[in-house]
Structures are given as structure tokens and as C-alpha cells.
Amino acid sequence: MNILVTGGAGFIGSHIVNTYIEAGHSVTIIDDLSTGEMQLVNPEATFYKLDIHSPEVKNVLEKEKISAINHHAAQISVTESVADPLFDANSNIIGTLQLLQNAVSLGIEKFIFASTGGAMYGEQKSFPASEDHPCQPLSPYAISKLCAENYINYFGTEHGLNTTVLRYSNVYGPHQNPHGEAGVVAIFCQRLMKGLPPVIFGDGEQTRDFISVRDVAKANTIALDPECKGVFNVGTGKETSVNFLTKGLIKVSGIDAKTEYNPARNGEQRRSSINSRKFLERFGWEPCVSLEEGLVETFDYFKNKTS
């Protein structure tokens, strides 16, 4: 299959590209490198440095005879979305809408979208949240993802586009960007390597559902199946406090470090975990990488990167 991965030079996208290529697919990447890195681009993939808003995207889809789009290019920072909702909406809504229109006009068979389960459900009423849990986003980032999901549902219903929405919990692992605030594990790894203390916003008792990027890449392979249509949570179903995560990472690193605390940030919910039973029952997907194993793998990646 000829697959386009937008954001394929980024954290999650690069792992998906590698997994697709290992499975024998032909992969084309579109990435503007605003957060992605050329060193993460698989040499067997065809790469175009492009913004997803560019009119050239349609030409790439035609030239490379793309039959499936995996859309991971996005504005991913909750804090940035609060500071600049217009930029967030332009990236996550308009960019997605343009891709959907191109997909329909060119007869592309499949559209896979990276959404958020970690932010979609807001302050949850039940734990872990299933796909049927009310969507009550607390940030422009989550609002933009929900809006994009609604457009995807429209294009599936009205135009017959085969679509899969994967709502991720908090993804971590090698290749994660340690700059900004979107990847707490990567940020803490880098700070520890520099001899700096991890900085927690709030009291650290806020919980998240941390899932390895390797498990996420596996989910994206399953999503290529024509029978895999609809919205699916991709998470572990387990709540882990940021305090617990930090202690575990310090233990893995073997570095003696004390944690610092700063005031909580706007737009972030207190507790979060998502239920992936639907994905398991229909397609056999389940997370296989334990938190401890994933933390070791991630810290070793950053340690080797700086050595």
C-alpha cells in the first residue's frame, strides 16, 4: 500500500513510518520540520518538506499514488493552544479539512487521524473513559481535535471515505520532543541528563494514562484494515500520577535528583485514563509495553543521544 504520513519526521509519526516500512508498505512523508527532525526520517521513505496547508500536497498525493493517509501533523501543545487558539485551529482543523477534501477528490481509500483521548473527555465522570464518555474538552487543543473528528465523521458519512480515529492517551517513548510541554517523560529525561531537577506543575497528584509509542505504532498498523472504521481509544486504562512517574524515572536514571513544583497550568484536567476494550474486542489490540520497560527504553534513548 502507498501511504502518506503527515508529521512523519516527528515523534509518533516517525515510529509509524518505520512500522509501515517494516510491514512492506511504501511510505511518503510530508513534514514542515517545525518540530520534526530529518534525522528521524526513515531513509526508505520519500520525503517532502511541506506544510499541510500547501496546495502542493494534492500534487504529492497524485504523484505518489497514495491510497491511505495517516494524519499526524498537528499543533500538540495544550498551553500553546490556550495562548493562541487561532493558530491551533488553523493547524488542527483547517489543515485536516484540506486533507479530507483532497482525499475525497482523489478517491483515496483510507484516512487515519491521530486524536486525543487524554484531553478529549475533560474532567471525566468515569474511569477509565470509554469512547461513549461525553466529550467535554477543556482546552482549544482538545476542542480543535473534536471539531476535526466531526469533519472526519461527515466525510465518512457523506462521501464514503473509510476513516479511523485513534484517540491516544499520553504517548511517550524514544524520539519524543523534550522541548515545550507536550511530553513530560522526554522533558524529565533531558533535565535529568543535564543535572537539572524535574519540574512538576501542580501538586503532582494529577494522573495520566501513559502509553508507549511502540504500542501506538502497532495500533496504526491495525487501522489500515478496511474493516477498522470508527473511533477507538488507544491507552492502557491505568492512571499514573505525575509524582509516581517522576520517582520511577529518577530510579531508572540512577541520578540523585530532587523534584521542584510550580503552579498548575490552565486547560489541563485533574485525572485521565481511557478504556481501549473496544479496540481489543474488535481487532485484538492491547498495550504490551509496561511503564517500567517504556521508561527504561526512553531514558536510554536520551542517554545515548547525548553521549
Catalytic residue among 141, 151, 168, 172: 141
Q: Active-site residue 20, yes or no?
A: no
> 61 φ, ψ to 5°?
-60, -40
Which residues does the chain have with pLDDT short of 50? none
The pLDDT of residue 165? 98
Read off the DSSP letter of residue 124. Answer: -
| 128 Rama class: left (phi>0) / alpha (psi -120 to 50) / beta | beta
Coil/strand/helix, residue 167: strand
- CA-to-CA distance for 93 and 100, rounded, in angstroms? 11
Q: Please, are residues 142 and 121 in contact by the beta-carbon 8 Å criterion?
A: no
Measured CA distances, 292 to 129, 206, 304 (Å)? 23, 19, 18
Distance of CA 145 to the CA centre of its chain: 11
Question: Which domains, from first to last, does the chain contain?
Answer: 2-171+212-236+274-288 (3.40.50.720)
pTM of the model: 0.97
The pLDDT of residue 223? 98
Coil/strand/helix, residue 296: helix
Helices vs strands, H then E, count in the chain:
11, 13
Type of residue at 166: L
Q: Tell me the residue ranges of DSSP E strands in the chain.
A: 2-6, 26-31, 46-49, 68-71, 110-116, 162-168, 170-172, 199-201, 207-208, 210-212, 230-234, 240-241, 260-262
Coil/strand/helix, residue 99: helix
Q: Please, are residues 49 and 29 in contact by the beta-carbon 8 Å criterion?
A: no
Q: Which residues contact 7 (CB under 8 A, 6 or more apart)?
A: 13, 30, 31, 36, 71, 72, 73, 74
Give the DSSP letter string of 125-164. Answer: SSSSB-TTSPP---SHHHHHHHHHHHHHHHHHHHH--EEE
Q: Which residues contact 218 (CB under 8 A, 6 or more apart)?
A: 19, 285, 288
Q: Please, are residues 3 and 27 in contact by the beta-carbon 8 Å criterion?
A: yes
Long-range Cβ contacts of 175-179 (<8 Å, 24+ apart): 175/10, 175/11, 175/14, 175/15, 175/40, 175/213, 175/301, 176/11, 176/213, 176/298, 177/10, 177/11, 177/35, 178/302
Q: Which residues contact 90 (CB under 8 A, 6 or more apart)?
A: 53
Helices (H), 138-268: 140-159, 184-193, 213-222, 242-253
